[in-house]
Amino acid sequence: MKHTRGRGSSGNATYSASCEHVRVALSSARMRSIVLAVWGILAIAACGESARENPKRPAISDSLRAELARQEVAAKAIVAAQDRAKARADSEALRARRAELDALSRRFRFHADQIRGGGSFSPGAMESVGGTRLTCSVDSSGAVRLKSIYVGDDAIFHNRIVARIGTRVVETQVVRPRVPGLGPSVLESDSVFEMGFFDEGAEDGGLMRALASADSGTIRIRLEGDAGRQDYVLSARSRRAIRHCVRLGELVRLER
């Protein structure tokens, strides 16, 4: 009999501690999740079941059950209000983002791919620009590509871009032509014409984002190649085109 009373004493202590824990949890005014309310229901049910198994233990009071029900209703109301606020914010953000995408895409010319579908956007402002320059494009999946064009008397076979932006030096990876004949070619003016392509992230070394976020200070560009190099100051038009390409790529990816 002593052994039986000992277990009962231990069980009462465990029961009291568990129920007290429920009361503390339910009294919190900061409860913001139905999960807590459901947990409370399960804990109360367990306490009630334990009380039925041992009639000597006190039953759960009606007032505590009523408080639990009130807290559950309050938690549901909080979660519902949060969901409504989030839905409104998401809807407003979506409208703003699509308005920005519509306005920004008007600065680009879209080149449709008649074979594979999709296509690419190129900055309209850069189409009439000649000489050595940086420009960019955005494909229909949102991937951004930096395009380096070199025009000069001698070939340099450039395969890397190095930029000084304020006190920072940012450089791309070394790339090789991925299409036969992509290297230097001779224009009608007998000038050498070279192109290099650097995909954002994998090959550009963060250069496009660095250029897009740069302030109004001078940015110096160096094209490095196996046969020489060429330095020049990046034009305001190229900087603006790159900034627009980076942002357009972000917006297009968010739409996918």
pTM of structure: 0.64
Q: What are 109-123's pLDDT values in tens digits?
A: 999 999 999 999 999
Residue 9 vs residue 94, higher pLDDT? 94
Residue 10 has pLDDT above 80, yes or no: no
Q: Phi/psi of residue 100, each to 5°?
A: -65, -40
Give dist(CA 136, CA 145) in Å, integer: 5
Residue 177 has pLDDT above 60, yes or no: no
Give dist(CA 196, CA 158) in Å, integer: 7
Strand (E) positions, 73-218? Answer: 108-112, 119-123, 133-139, 144-152, 158-165, 168-171, 185-186, 192-199
Q: In the prediction, which pLDDT does 58 show?
A: 57
Counted residue by residue, the chain has a size of 256
Residue 217 vs residue 10, higher pLDDT? 217
Mapping DSSP onto H, E and C, the string for 155-179 reads: CCCEEEEEEEECCEEEECCCCCCCC
What is the pLDDT confidence band of residue 36, given thresholds at 50, 70 and 90? low
Question: Measured in whole angstroms, how far is the alpha carbon of residue 114 from the centre of its chain?
Answer: 31
